Amino acid sequence: MASLQGFDPAQSGQQPVDDSGNAVPVGVWGDSTIGVGVFGTTGAVTANTGNIPISSVAGVVGHGLDGDAGVWGESTEGIGVVGRSISNYGVLGVTFSAAANTPGVLGTSTTGGSGVVGFVGDATGVVGNSITGAGVQGISGSGNGLEGESFGVNGSPPAAGVFGQSDTYGVRGVSGPGKGVLGESQTGPGVKGMSTQEAGVRGLSTSFTGVLGTTLGAASGVTGFQFSAEEGSGVLGESIVGAGVDGVGLRGIGVRGEGELYAGMFLGNVCVTGSVSKGGGGFAIDHPLDPSDRYLRHSFVESPDMLNVYNGNVTTDANGDAHVGLPDYFEALNQDFRYQLTVIGQFAHAIVAQEIANNRFTIKTDRPQVKVSWQITGVRRDPWAVANRIAVEEEKDATDRGRYLHPELWGKSKEARIHRSQHHEKQLLRAIQLAPKQLQQRLEHALLRGNRVDLGELKRLVEESRQLADFRSSKGPSKIDHYRLEQEWQRVQDLIKRME
């Protein structure tokens, strides 16, 4: 096979020019109206090598017969290889090997740069389409498997640094010891996930936290905002055998709840290992006489002491004596005993003849066979109670002075409420910022300034938000058209057949 040689434009009668018509000096020029402009082969041609195919679909064809590159481009300062097309692919890479590690296009960097960089003015920098496999796969030994950056231009908001869309995983990141997917942002979300029917972001771990959120500022590690006029949850936690939601405050509050109807609702038993501080309380049950239509409510009995109450009925014997036994833990649990006796059914005198000793006391009446109703109270003296006595009267600390637990009952505004610090409104404002900017002011007015949420206005805001989201998605990266993708793939296959 003949060697490849350059030519002198003056001898050939041809001169390559740039877009402006200026002459361009080149080492090799190939121009053909019926076939390949330039054809080159590297490597020894053995006796059993057949005729090397020449494709009529390429301006330059290069063949490497012994493992060398078919086409090699090298530059010390500029671009090594440039592929340009007016109406089709700038560069097409095809491999005929079925091996998974033989890509159609391979980009490699040995000095810390990027293996592959895609850049475009107003469309997607890199697009990867696949019928059954991954659209784009990024693998790294110690760095980032897939990295994307996006910046706003001329005041316009930045688009997605990495955009993935699929019937299974839009973007999937797999890492051995490092992070599967890492998203970083200076002003916007580091990672944003959207879905119409499933979870916007799903986290799965076989041995650690499914989703971990950390903040280094005065904000929340994880914030959930339910922007809907329908019932739902800002944050939902479910567990099969463990806790649905764990809240731990190392030096503060473990779980904070605030709501217009209820600050918290527990559909089941509640266990509290510490003390409970409340403004009041009681029970609410289905009314025994009308359980389907009414409730019955009773208030708790309050006391400044940690008081235990024991009571019963007893009838004195022929001598007017009655011995009352108490639980075997009574004296171990209680101190400061108080007695009340009431005679039933007749006029008689009743006294406590012997006070409590060995968990027993004795009642005596001036007549035999007298029924007596008795009540004993004691103050708890177990170690926990001794260490946690209630301060009946307590001075408010400096931060709470001038503020009230229930300011509206004292003719004060809600801003004077204790425990309602700016933290709550800051959290709500951060959540409002997740809504479209065009609606944030109206949403803030509806949620922060009104006495009650206007559900009609909220529904209108939600609908407008959905319309804005649809508008943004129509201007963003286009959705996958599987029919068009099949057509594109068929075009590539036809081109490969012609190359073969």
Q: What is the pLDDT of residues 149-207, one digit of tens each?
A: 666 555 555 566 677 666 667 777 776 667 777 777 777 777 777 777 777 788 877 78
* 146 pLDDT above the threshold of 50: yes
Task: Tell me the angle at which helices 437-444 and 455-475 cross, rounded to the nearest 10 degrees.
Answer: 170
Mean pLDDT of 290-299: 94
* 380 pLDDT above the threshold of 70: yes
What confidence score (pLDDT) does residue 384 get?
Answer: 94
Given a contact cutoff of 8 angstroms between Cβ atoms, the answer to whether 418 and 404 are in contact is yes
Residue 145 confidence class, pLDDT cut points 50, 70, 90: low
Q: Encode the chain in three state secondary structure.
A: CCCCCCCCHHHHCCCCECCCCCECCCCCCCCCCCCCCEEEEECCCCCCCCCCCCCCCCCEEEEECCCCCCCCCCCCCCCCCCCCCCCCCCCCCCCCCCCCCCCCCCCCCCCCCCCCCCCCCCCCCCCCCCCCCCCCCCCCCCCCCCCCCCCCCCCCCCCCCCCCCCCCCCCCCCCCCCCCCCCCCCCCCCCCCCCCCCCCCCCCCCCCCCCCCCCCCCCCCCCCCCCCCCCCCCCCCCCCCCCCCCCCCCCCCCCCCCCCCCCCCCCCCCCCCCCCCCCCCEEEEECCCCCCCCEEEEECCCCCCCEEEEEEEEECCCCCEEEEECCCCHHHHEEEEEEEEEEECCCCCEEEEEEEECCEEEEEECCCCCEEEEEEEEEECCHHHHHCCCCCCCCCCCCCCCCECCHHHHCCCHHHECCCCHHHHHHHHHHHCCCCHHHHHHHHHHHHHCCCCCHHHHHHHHHHHHHHHHHHHHHCCCCCCHHHHHHHHHHHHHHHHHHC
Which of the pair, 264 or 446, is modelled with greater confidence?
Answer: 264
Q: Of 42-46, 214-218, 270-274, which gets the smallest average pLDDT?
A: 42-46
Mean pLDDT of 204-231: 78
What confidence score (pLDDT) does residue 176 get?
Answer: 67
What confidence score (pLDDT) does residue 232 get?
Answer: 81
d(CA 343, CA 374): 9
Mean pLDDT of 277-294: 92
What confidence score (pLDDT) does residue 2 get?
Answer: 42
* 460 pLDDT above the threshold of 70: yes
Nearest of 125, 133, 189, 114 to residue 162 by alpha carbon: 125
Mean pLDDT of 210-216: 80
Average pLDDT, whole number, for the chain? 77
Which of the pair, 420 or 372, is modelled with greater confidence?
Answer: 372
Determine whether domain 307-387 maps to CATH 3.40.50. Answer: no
What confidence score (pLDDT) does residue 322 get?
Answer: 97
In sequence order, what are the residues at sequence separation of 6 or more whose Cβ sits closer than 8 angstroms to the Cβ of residue 35? Answer: 54, 56
- According to DSSP, the β-strands at 38-42 and 60-64 are parallel
Give the tens place of pLDDT for each residue, 50-89. 666 555 567 777 777 666 777 888 777 777 787 877 777 7
What confidence score (pLDDT) does residue 194 get?
Answer: 75
Residue 38 confidence class, pLDDT cut points 50, 70, 90: confident
Mean pLDDT of 456-462: 70
Give the tens place of pLDDT for each residue, 390-431. 999 999 989 889 999 889 899 998 778 887 555 555 656 666
What confidence score (pLDDT) does residue 343 get?
Answer: 98
Mean pLDDT of 218-223: 78
Which of the pair, 444 or 372, is modelled with greater confidence?
Answer: 372
Phi then psi for residue 410, to 5 deg, are: -110, 15
Of all residues in the chain, what percent carry a pLDDT higher than 90?
24
Round to the nearest angstrom and report the end-to-end CA distance of the chain: 20
What confidence score (pLDDT) does residue 482 get?
Answer: 62
Residue 342 confidence class, pLDDT cut points 50, 70, 90: very high
Give the tens place of pLDDT for each residue, 104-126. 777 777 666 667 777 665 666 67
What confidence score (pLDDT) does residue 329 get?
Answer: 97
Residue 332 confidence class, pLDDT cut points 50, 70, 90: very high
Which of the pair, 353 or 46, is modelled with greater confidence?
Answer: 353
Domain span(s) for CATH 2.60.40 in the chain: 307-387
* 9 pLDDT above the threshold of 70: no
Mean pLDDT of 448-467: 65
Given a contact cutoff of 8 angstroms between Cβ atoms, the answer to whether 498 and 55 are in contact is yes
* 306 pLDDT above the threshold of 90: yes
Mean pLDDT of 224-248: 82
In sequence order, what are the residues at sequence separation of 6 or more whose Cβ sits closer than 8 angstroms to the Cβ of residue 16? Answer: 9, 23, 24, 26, 29
Mean pLDDT of 368-395: 95
What confidence score (pLDDT) does residue 471 get?
Answer: 52
What confidence score (pLDDT) does residue 288 get?
Answer: 95
Which of the pair, 132 or 419, is modelled with greater confidence?
Answer: 419
